[in-house]
Structure 1
Amino acid sequence: MAQVSVITGGAGGMGVATAKIIGRDHTVVLCDVRGDRLDSAAAALAELGVSVTPVRCDVTDRQAVHDLLATAAGLGTIASVVHTAGVSPSMGDADYIMRTNAIGTVNVNEAFVSAAAAGAAIVNVASMAAHMLPDSVIPSGKFPLALTDADAFLAEMASACGIAPEEARPGMAYAVSKSFVRWYSTSQAERFNGSGLRIVSVSPGSVDTEMGRLEEQAGAGAMVADFAVPRWGQAEEMAELFAFCASPKAGYLTGTDILNDGGVIASMKERARVAAESS
């Protein structure tokens, strides 16, 4: 039976790059909300010899996500899900960002638990932004609400993001939503293991994709130029890590987040330490 990998956000730069790698020996179900982009990406992958099935799906729609995973299961054994779907601060308001990044993650992961066989793995894409906020402003105590009452969760997240000025709330929502992805990928590891499944998250830094470049003028450009590795990360570099985490080679890896940011967070912490000592 075919080994199947589902890639959400499949029309984006990291999604396509991941499909090229995983598609060498897996059937790929490519999911994206943007139908025209999805069809173009699927056609390009098919030309490379990847066995690909495109499925248009909005990850904030729980039923659509269950249908997506059912389609994948109908093609073979679900071996992995790489959940790259998400939006950045420049792409919408705080509620849209939180709903897509946090509730979308819950929908995809919970459908994965129901549909995947033992031995499968899911890789959630968080962000280095999840490593930037002080713990005191991350409403992690309210994060479990996302699994039981999405509306209450979103209300609590809106309240937490309300500490930021209105123009900064999309950025705050992005950091909080990616903190949620990181939290979910660690807190649910024991439950997932009960079904023989692995769950990890990866936190990319500034990546040279269409979405990544949207944030160039909002601070990402300075981070790229002024920290440990002074360049943008490449989608292919992220994809290699995603593919490894999803593969049997990483069979002991679960319940953790991998920061792949070119050393930005390390530089920021060390500079803050030096500044504090000299003040």
Structure 2
Amino acid sequence: MRPELEPGRVAVVTGGARGIGLAVVEAVAARGVGVLCVDHPSADPGAVEQACAAAGVPFAFAAADVRDRDAVHAAVARAADLGPVAYAVNCAGVDGLLGAAAMPAEEWRRVVEVDLDGVMFACQAEHDLMAGRGGSIVNIASMSGHVVNRGVTHAAYSAAKAGVIHLGRALAVEWAPSGIRVNSVSPGYTMTAMTRTNAPEVNAAFAEQTPMGRLAEVEEVAEPVVFLLGSRASFVTGTDLLVDGGFTAW
């Protein structure tokens, strides 16, 4: 049986310096896959470097603001220096909690440009490295691309994440002849460093709204990502996998 991920190959992970992105880095590195982490210039890549060193796989960090198409393309292109690129996971994103009625244009643009434009630019660059050889791309969307979260105002975020889901479907069809699979994962409420800063009652409300009664751990999102990246999902493309503890079923 083929390995789930092919050791010696390389994965591009945008937004990989923390949160779900870091968990993805740790999961692919543990399977023998090298990592190019693309993240904001302010990000600290120390944890990514440690994870890759512990796994004995190649590592590089490239700083880029994902809203800048040229910067993203230049950053992702560096992955080829590490080896053949077969995998990519696009995790870079921001939230926006302003109400829609009074949302300034610049806030709308900030969220959509990071969460949707940034995914498109990264996918384009990853395509350039995979075309002709094949590969697998997984974009991190959100359950907010399927439903409106109760008690949270983030119309821009929800719209952008819905766009990520449908963008993935469009790219999956367009790039299938090139041997590139494109899927997405839509997490529910997840316990990240940012979520841990919430007031306890906020996270308690999130847990209460989730049928499984708790928030996801980042590793519980990373493992479904690995499934979609790898050989066990070799006939899966254009799909979105909800990892939400049943939130959208309730």
TM-score normalized with structure 1 length? 0.76
Q: Deviations over 1:197-251 (max 9, x none)?
A: 0000110000100234467789664232233111010100101111111112211
Structure 1 residue runs without a partner (length 5+): 134-167, 268-279
Q: Which moved more, 1:82-91 or 1:62-71?
A: 82-91
2:33 paired residue number? 26
Structure 2 distance, partners of 1:62, 1:182, is 20
Structure 1 distance, partners of 2:107, 2:204, is 22
2:12 paired with 1:6: yes
2:117 paired with 1:103: yes
Which one of 61, 71, 74 corresponds to residue 64 of structure 1?
Answer: 71
Cα RMSD over matched residues? Answer: 2.6
1:119 paired residue number? 134
Structure 2 distance, partners of 1:200, 1:36, is 26
Q: Deviations over 1:120-159 (max 9, x none)?
A: 00000000001115xxxxxxxxxxxxxxxxxxxxxxxxxx
1:222 paired residue number? 205
2:212 paired with 1:232: no
Greater gyration radius? 1
CA contact (8 A) 2:59 2:82 kept: no
CA contact (8 A) 2:32 2:55 kept: no
Aligned-pair identity (%): 33
1:16 paired residue number? 22
Aligned to 1:37, the other structure's residue is in SS state coil
User: How many residue pairs were aligned?
Assistant: 234
1:138 paired residue number? none
2:162 paired residue number? 179
Task: Select the structure that is richer in helix.
Answer: 1
Aligned to 2:186, the other structure's residue is in SS state strand
Structure 2 residue runs without a partner (length 5+): 1-6, 99-105
Aligned to 1:242, the other structure's residue is in SS state helix
Structure 1 distance, partners of 2:117, 2:95, is 15
Aligned to 2:156, the other structure's residue is in SS state helix
1:275 paired residue number? none
Change (3 A) 1:49 1:72: same
The one-letter code of the counterpart of 1:22 is V
1:1-279 aligned at under 5 Å gives the runs: 2-23=8-29, 24-90=31-97, 93-117=107-131, 118-133=133-148, 171-213=154-196, 221-267=204-250
Change (3 A) 1:180 1:232: same
